[in-house]
Structures are given as structure tokens and as C-alpha cells.
Amino acid sequence: MLGQKMTCNRPGSQASWLYRFFFPRRFGREEKQPPPVPREELQAIFAQLMEWDAETWGHYYLSKDPLKFRVSQSEAREIIQSSLACAKDVHSYVMSIYGIRPAEALCQALQIQLVREEGTQGNHAYLATFQEKPPKVRLFTRTADSAVWLVREAGLGEILGVELSDLAEGGDKLKREIHELMIAHELFHYFETCTPDIYTRRKLVTLPSLGSRERRSTLGAAGEIAATAFSQLYTGSRLSPGLVEMLVLCMNDLDYVRRICNNHSACAKA
């Protein structure tokens, strides 16, 4: 799943650029205008995020996992490296069987239903979700499209390595690239479901024991790190999927992104 716990649409809070996307008009009246986009600050933030390597993004995904406290520093490294290796293995497997084709066409080949929806779920801004039975990928197009809006609005194209032609005509080309990334991410979760011994399902962390019973659990972050890496390998996108997530987060909770950027950029340089 991409976007879980990402954002909360609170009109009147800092959340307002994303709000413009989901509720441009409500009850027949214009919503309050969102504050102006702080272009320079966003450019500085994304210039910093562009320095992040796969390991730094891995630490970011681990930091969001509720079980992060069950993972030691050295184990975190091992989990990130193994998840990245797992993404490569799945990618090689998929290439050998299905070859190069758009993620949408891979959904068809695998008989996975692909549903494009505009909106979001509840109070969260989701980019995409995967449902196991029956297999279904839901792509929330307006969340992804809002990321493109911010790239244009904040002048982030050059920093992100996005070509001007990708931003032309409302950014349609970049939107398609992001949609593909999101679908490929969810397809990794599909491959997880049909590969019982895959690393991301095999890796368990120990939970506090209940009496004499030892309890263990899978670690969602491992799947997220691998799905994210897989989506970029599969689509060949220049954009790290983490950057797309940050674009959406910026639109709703810029303070959160500032904190994330400060906390993790130090280890990106270390």
C-alpha cells in the first residue's frame, strides 16, 4: 500500500494545497484559498531529498513502521539491504517471464483488476492500494496528479530531473509516469502474496512475549522498501517513489516533511 498514514485532510490546517484537489468546491461555494506555495523552501527541501540514496529511503520507511523499536541499528541495515536485493530478484523473475511492458499491461497479464478512482479513502490521502482476494489494484489518480501540480507550481522540475516536455499539457506525461510507479509498487505486493518464502514475508521481528509464549511478526517496512525499489526498477523511472510520497505529504503537512528531511538527511551524508 502506498500512502498509508500519509496525510490527513484537515481544512484550515496547513493541509490546504491537497485539500484544493479533493474538495475544490463544496456545498456550492468556493473553499478558502490555500496559502501560497513556498517555492524556495520546497526547492531546498527537494534538492536535499535528491541526495538520499536507497539506504536512506530505507531508513525513512523503517522509521514509519510501528515495529521500528524492535529492530536494532545493525539489523536495520541488514533488513534494508535484503529488501533491496529481494526487489531485484522479483524484478529479474518478472522480466524473465513477462518481459518489458507497462505496469498496467502486467496487471492484465496477471488478471489483476486495475481500478482508477479519483478520490481518497477516509481521512487519508492514498496513492494506491492492493487487495489480495480477488486481486485488485486501486489507483487514486487525483493524489498522484496533485504531486504533478506541486512540481509545476513550486518549480521543482529541474531539481527532480523532470523534462519540460513531461510537464507540458498539464503534466500528462509525468502523471502517467507516476501512475505506472504506483501500479508497479502494488504489483510487488501481489508477488509477495504468491511467493510464500519471499524475504519480505519471511523476515520476522520478535515482539514482547506474553507469558512464556514468544511472539513474532512480519515487518511491513521490509515490504514497502522492496515494493518501492521494485517499482523504480520495473518502470525505469528517474523519480524515486519516495519523492512522489514527499510531494503529496508536503501538500498536507509541510512540518512533517521538514522534520523527516532534517532527521534523515544527516544520515544520508554520513
**Binding positions for Zn ion, rule: CB under 5 A:** 1-2, 224, 227
Q: Distance (Å, rounded) from C-alpha 62 to C-alpha 52?
A: 15
Of the pair 21, 130, the CB lying nearest Zn ion is at 130
Q: Distance (Å, rounded) from C-alpha 136 to C-alpha 189?
A: 11
In whole angstroms, how close is the CB of 26 to Zn ion at the nearest point? 30
Of the pair 2, 268, the CB lying nearest Zn ion is at 2
For strand 25-26 and strand 113-117, is the pairing parallel, antiparallel, or unpaired?
unpaired
In whole angstroms, how close is the CB of 126 to Zn ion at the nearest point? 10
In whole angstroms, how close is the CB of 262 to Zn ion at the nearest point? 25
Of the pair 1, 125, the CB lying nearest Zn ion is at 1
Of the pair 187, 250, the CB lying nearest Zn ion is at 187
In whole angstroms, how close is the CB of 224 to Zn ion at the nearest point? 5
Contacts of residue 239, Cβ cutoff 8 Å, sequence gap at least 6: 160, 161, 162, 177, 178, 181, 232
Q: Distance (Å, rounded) from C-alpha 104 to C-alpha 139?
A: 11
Nearest Cα to Cα of residue 49 among 203, 244, 252: 244
